[in-house]
Every structure is written in structure tokens, then in C-alpha cells.
Structure 1
Amino acid sequence: MSGAVIIGAGPGIGQAVARRFARKGLPITLIARGGQTLRAVAGEVASLGAPLGASHGVPIVTLQADCTDRAELDAALDQAIDEHGVPEVAVYNAALVRADELGEFSVREHMEAWAVNVVGALNAAARLAPAMAARGSGTFLVTGGMPEPEPRYVSLSLGKAGVRTLVALLDQQYGPSGVHVASVTVDGPVALGTDFDPDDIAEHYWQLHTQPRHLWDREVLHAGRC
């Protein structure tokens, strides 16, 4: 059974999304740069126990990869496919969040941020979306943010604008073949017990994944609890 791949599987949104899909019985592949982070998130996902009607919990695979290293990311995604098949859903949740004002960052610092926030998502899609399209189904989701540019976060504002453009390009190329490409735009700081609780945000990813094709959204905005 193909499952869900979470790239940028940290303790906030990444973990919450993994738990949301695991509750529906999907095998989970977690990809992150740090082994300690992966072990912690895998433990939280495994603590869900077995989905209703199952005799044991879902399979969980943890893979270390730097999303800015294309060879590492490709190798991790190839291993994910070897383990669980072409995923039903892939979520790119990696981001480099650093405060910076206009002219403050060097060219290198801007390129580092762009590599995480945009190019990593592009490379993940390049590895997975064609296989999803060949199968005729799949969901590729990206965590967005900054619905309005913020002068205190120039590099992140540029990166999230890039995410919207990337999602539009991927939708144009792979949407007609049955791949739902969309972003979840989070307009606030993620924290447990707030209007930006990661479990509330994770619900958007599940809803996008299960949307009927004729109702596909390309972007969902989480601006707080209703």
C-alpha cells in the first residue's frame, strides 16, 4: 500500500500531518536532516497505535536527507518508493525561517533560504510528480506562508511567493494527469493550543488530499480557528 511522504518532518506541522495520515492507516515515510528529530517524530506517530480495524500500527520509515542536496533527497525519495511504492501524498514542509530586513542578508544567505524554501520543493516534485502522473493519481502539497509580504522577513516572503508560483507551474503540468498540487498557507506562528495549533493545520492537508477532483483547491489559507 502506497502511503504518505513528509519532507521536513519536524515537531510542528510535519509531525501533525504525519499523525493525521497515519490515523487513516497510510504507511508513513518521514524525511528530515537530523536523526534525533526523526526519532522523536517517529515515536510520536507510532504512539497513535493501530488504526481502527488494524491489528498493528502503520509502517513508519525514517530517512535522513538534506533537502538542499538533490542527490540526498533523490536517494531518500527513491528509498521511500522502494519501501511503500509511489506515494499517495507527498508533503513538502521544509522551510528556513529567519528574520531579515531589506539589504541585511548576503547573496549566499538569500540563496540558502531559497534552496530550502523553494528549490527543495521543486526537486521533490521533479522526483515524485511524474510517477504520480503516470499512475493517474496523487497529491503533492507544500506548506506555504506569508500571504502578504512582511518587511521583517524578506527572504521568507520571497520564498513563499516562490512556493505559490511553483504550485501553479506544477498544477499546470501535472494537474491534467490527476495530480492534485496545492499549498497550505499558514498566516501565523505555529504553537500548540493556539489558533495556529499544528493539529488544526494538519486537517487542511487531509482535506486537500481527499477533495473530489472537480473541487480541487490550489491553496488553502489557515488564518486561525473559525
Structure 2
Amino acid sequence: MSTIAIVGAGPGLGAAVARRFGREGFGVALVARDRQRLDELVDELAADRVTARGFPADVRRPEELVDALGAAADALGTVEVLQYSPVPHRDFMRPVLETRHRDLFGPIEFSVYGPVAAVQQVLPGMRKLGRGTIFFVNGGTAAVPHPERAGTSIAFAAESAYGHLLHDRLAPEGIHVAQLVIPGAITPGHVRKDPAVLADLLWGMHRERHGFRHYADDLDS
């Protein structure tokens, strides 16, 4: 069975991606901090005939994330698709002139240490398979920094650079690395930013395998 690991899984985008890939025969590893919410989501997906398991971990604790992804591969099979899409904390979004160096610890742990730990854990398995997809899902500040959201602007820039480097280096090995930038909020019913629409977009990116940065909507949305 092919496996997708969704880091930062929740009832919105994470659940929609789980259903979309589940319909294609993927097993789904859901990674998030809250065990109870994971269990509830696993039950909801089971009702839709999606094979899913929950693996608690805090992305700001790389060791926990590595252990969770290792357990996911043991339980469901080699991770072929990794989606890194946790929602940033509000306290990461301070105005730039009020942002001190200590205010950047959290954003960097969240958007740099976490992704690097996750990729390093799943990459050997993808290389053995000879294929794989790695998604980084970010807000609009990944593309256009915002002076009122300094933490995410700075950390997303670093995450974007890491992803782009991976894209260039891993493409010859059959591993596709891509970023989806979602300006503004994910909004049920929105023509472009409804969770199911975004899940379809990610499925298409997995299948088509071209380019690094993709946009869910116009940046001024």
C-alpha cells in the first residue's frame, strides 16, 4: 500500500487530502499534537473507507516527529508522499519592529527544524522506492513577506529555500518536491480555497510533477 503522511493533520485541509489520496488507495498517516482529535479524525475517515492511523507529535520537537513518521512507515508502509502543513501559531505573527531574536525561535523550529527532520526521516524510504512526493504548504507570506507577520515571513522564506533546494537536487531521483502557497484563509465553499478543491490541486501536483511553487489563489486574495 502507498502511504501519505500528513504533518499538521486537522479537520480541514488535512482531512480533505486524506480523503482524496485515500480514494486513490493510499494509506494515511495523520500527524498532529492532539491524540483525541487524531482518533476522531481516524474514525471519520474510516466511515469513508479510508485507511488511516494517527501518530501524535509536536513539530517543534523534532525527535517526536521522527518517531511518529517512523511508526507510520512501520504501521502502513513506506511513506511515498509527505505533506508538511501545520498551521502556524498566532504569536509567530508579530510586527517586524516588535520582533526580537527570541521571538523567532518558535517560527524557526516550526518551519525549518520540523520540515528538515520530517524529510530526513522519510527520504531513505522514498529513495528505496525510486519515487516520492514532498509537499510544503504555506501561507502567502512565503511568497510576499508581510511587515505585520514577521515570524512567518522569515521562517516561511527559509522553508521555501529548503524546499527549492530539495526540488532541484531530488528531481533526478524521481522524487518531486513542491510548495503550495495558499494566500489568506482556507475557506469552505470558496471556489479555489475550499479544502476539497485544495486537495484536488495537491493530487494533481502529485500526478503532474512539474515546477516547485504553485499558488492556490491570487496573492491579493
Q: Normalised by the size of structure 1, how large is the TM-score?
A: 0.87
**Alpha-carbon RMSD:** 1.7
Residue matched to 1:93? 85
CA distance in 1, matches of 2:47, 2:103: 38
Alpha-carbon shift at residue 59 of structure 1 (Å): 2.1
Which residues of 2 match residues 57-136 of structure 1 at below 5 A? 57-98=49-90, 99-136=93-130
- Which residue identity does 1:140 align to in structure 2? I
Alpha-carbon shift at residue 46 of structure 1 (Å): 2.3
Alpha-carbon shift at residue 198 of structure 1 (Å): 1.4
CA distance in 2, matches of 1:58, 1:25: 8
Q: Could you list the runs of 5+ residues in structure 2 that have no partner in the other structure?
A: none
CA contact (8 A) 2:21 2:203 kept: yes
Residue matched to 2:200? 203
Residue matched to 1:3? 3
Cα displacement string for residues 126-173 of structure 1 (whole angstroms, at most 9, x for unaligned residues): 111232123210111110222211112111111221222011111233
CA distance in 1, matches of 2:12, 2:158: 22
- Which residue identity does 2:103 align to in structure 1? E
CA distance in 1, matches of 2:87, 2:98: 19
CA distance in 2, matches of 1:27, 1:67: 21
Q: Could you list the runs of 5+ residues in structure 1 that have no partner in the other structure?
A: 49-56
Residue matched to 2:43? 43
Q: Which moved more, 1:103-112 or 1:200-209?
A: 103-112
Alpha-carbon shift at residue 107 of structure 1 (Å): 2.6
Q: Which runs of 4+ in 1 moved over 4 A?
A: none
CA distance in 2, matches of 1:97, 1:66: 13
Q: When you count helix as a share of all residues, which structure comes out higher?
A: 2
- Aligned residue pairs total 213
Match of 2:145 among 127, 146, 149: 149
- Which residue identity does 1:201 align to in structure 2? L
Partner SS for 2:96: coil
- Which residue identity does 1:163 align to in structure 2? E
Residue matched to 1:52? none
- Which residue identity does 2:61 align to in structure 1? D
Alpha-carbon shift at residue 92 of structure 1 (Å): 0.6
CA distance in 2, matches of 1:188, 1:33: 24
CA distance in 1, matches of 2:19, 2:217: 22
Cα displacement string for residues 182-221 of structure 1 (whole angstroms, at most 9, x for unaligned residues): 011101211212242111111121011111x5xx221210
CA distance in 1, matches of 2:198, 2:84: 14
CA distance in 2, matches of 1:26, 1:87: 10
Q: Normalised by the size of structure 2, how large is the TM-score?
A: 0.89
- Which residue identity does 1:158 align to in structure 2? I
CA distance in 2, matches of 1:96, 1:114: 11
Cα displacement string for residues 32-59 of structure 1 (whole angstroms, at most 9, x for unaligned residues): 01112212322332232xxxxxxxx232
